[in-house]
Each structure stands twice: as C-alpha cells, then as structure tokens.
Amino acid sequence: MTLADRIVVMRDGYLEQVGAPLEVFRKPGNTFVAGFIGSPPMNLVPTRVSAGLTMVFEGGLRLPLPDRAGMQIRPDMDVIMGLRTEDITVVNGHEQFPSEWKAEGASWKWWSRLAAKPICTWIYPAPNWSHAVRLVAP
C-alpha cells in the first residue's frame, strides 16, 4: 500500500474497490475490504440501531451513533460497526473486559470481546497490569 497511489481490491475475480491506499483503508466499500486491508484487520461488530440512533449490542451495551452527514441509517436497522485498531484506546478504568495480551516487540496486542465478537488493538507502551481496562472509542 505504501508504494502505490491507487490500489485495487479483488475477490474471486471481481472488483471490490479501487482507490488511493488511505481512502480504501479509512473508507472501505464493504466488510470484505474492511477485513482485508490492515493488520490486524478492522474490528467488525454487528449491532442494531434503536430509536434515537443508538447502537445496541448483544449483552446490552449501548453507544450513540456518530453524527455523519449523508448517513442513511434509521431505527430498527441492523448494521456492522467497524473500528480500526488505531481508533481504540485502552485506558485504566472501572469496566472489566475479558482480555488476552500478546507481546509484539515494543508493543502489545490486546484481544478482547465486544458483544461476543473478538476485537483487537495495539498497546504502546506495555499496559499497567494492576488495573482493569476500559474500552474507549472516538
């Protein structure tokens, strides 16, 4: 991706998306592209939109939808929330998420679950092991 000014993502001989590398990375055209581009791939979590445009996840977690112009989302719609690892910050907090840590050189890869789906992010530097962690997304 760093050597090209345009990339093409294909699946089974069909074109999925064409664009500048950062455009394809930041605005994937579908869940295949979102899961294909990036390492680790984008975290994809299914959810349902409730009244007031709030995402309701399995287990009862509720998050407001970000306000984006042109968004065609309505209540009672099933959607897939996509979070890149750089959009997630693990901070000391009160909410406990079951998690697994893996050292990857100077950083740590943090795996957890959100609404029964695995999610992943990178931690720089090593985490503080004495505190619970809380998930914060912009």
Task: For the chain, 138 residues long, give each residue's pLDDT as a single digit of tens.
Answer: 567 899 999 999 999 999 999 999 989 999 999 999 988 888 888 888 888 788 888 777 788 887 766 778 888 888 888 888 777 766 555 455 556 666 666 666 777 777 677 777 766 665 555 445 555 555
- DSSP letter at 85 equals G
What are the helix and strand counts (H, E) for the chain? 2, 11
* Residue indicated by tokens 């984008």: 42
Contact criterion met (CB below 8 Å) for 96 and 90: no
Helix or strand holding residue 119 (H, E): strand 117-123
User: Assign residue 105 a region: left if phi > 0, alpha if psi is -120 to 50, beta otherwise?
Assistant: left
